[in-house]
Amino acid sequence: MKCRDFSAVLSTFADLLDAAGAPVARDQIVMFAAVFDAHPTSSVSDLAKRIGALRGTGSAGSPNLGDVARLLSALKSVLNKTAKATVLTDLNAIEKFLHDRASMELGAFVQMATEAAAPPRPTRNRAAPVVRDDLVAHYKEKLEAALGDEEKFSAVYNDLRANTAVGRPEIIALAKQMTGSGARTEEAALKKIWNRHQSLVVFKAKARATGGRSAA
């Protein structure tokens, strides 16, 4: 099974976790899927062998590879009677790989595995930060759906700020898409997002106060 196909399976699983109200588990699967996105044409079994041969085990932390292994075990139980044998074989191989490195911090592993696929970069050029477009699109949809609703917007906004998978590049890109103006810092971008919501809250309050009466 190609890595891009395995990533598609993980993406579908992440959508199910999101619909089930499990954002932490969803983000772990989305982050883990980035490893396979970085090696799209490799087979899953070959990738597991190559990454397993990399030196260094990475730092322990949370969330870790053991957390992802438990999620994949749940996915495997769902697919056990319906998925193709190749999917289940690769799931078993990856689950075992993760169990063998259960204490390794997920972010450190993803960075190590994705960098292994990247070509050497010229030292004179400073690489632009990679933006997680999937996370930007997810929060854009959630935030825009909640604009003007104090309770709903605050819940999504607080989830955005607490999500460790969302970094400065994603926050700045999100503010650009939602407000049409750029920001250089994460805090400035968050303020722009919040201000758009507040502007709509004020507008709605004024509309309720006037009750549709004309200025005359």
Sequence-distant (6+) residues with CB within 8 A of 39 are 3, 47, 117
Q: pLDDT (tens digit, 9 = 90+) per residue, 161-180?
A: 999 999 999 999 999 998 88
pLDDT value at position 179?
A: 85
pLDDT value at position 156?
A: 93
Sequence-distant (6+) residues with CB within 8 A of 20 are none
Q: pLDDT (tens digit, 9 = 90+) per residue, 44-79?
A: 888 878 777 765 555 677 889 889 989 988 888 888
CB 108 within 8 A of CB 65: no
Determine the 3-state secondary structure of 45 from DSSP: helix
One digit per residue, the tens of pLDDT, for the chain of length 216 reads: 888 888 888 888 889 888 889 889 999 999 898 888 888 888 888 887 877 776 555 567 788 988 998 998 888 888 887 878 888 888 888 888 888 888 888 888 888 777 765 544 554 555 666 889 999 999 999 999 998 888 999 999 999 999 999 999 999 999 999 888 878 899 999 999 999 888 888 887 877 777 655 443
pLDDT value at position 43?
A: 87
CB 116 within 8 A of CB 154: no
pLDDT value at position 129?
A: 67
The per-residue pLDDT of the chain, averaged, comes to: 83
CB 36 within 8 A of CB 110: no
How many Cβ atoms from other residues are within 10 Å of residue 170's Cβ? 24
Provide the residue type at 10 as one letter.
L
Maximum alpha-carbon separation in the chain: 78
CB 165 within 8 A of CB 27: yes
How many Cβ atoms from other residues are within 10 Å of residue 115's Cβ? 10
How many Cβ atoms from other residues are within 10 Å of residue 13's Cβ? 21
d(CA 184, CA 31): 25
End-to-end Cα separation, the chain, in angstroms: 70
pLDDT value at position 52?
A: 72
CA separation (Å) from 129 to 38, 185, 197? 15, 13, 27
pLDDT value at position 127?
A: 60
d(CA 11, CA 5): 10
CB 104 within 8 A of CB 60: yes
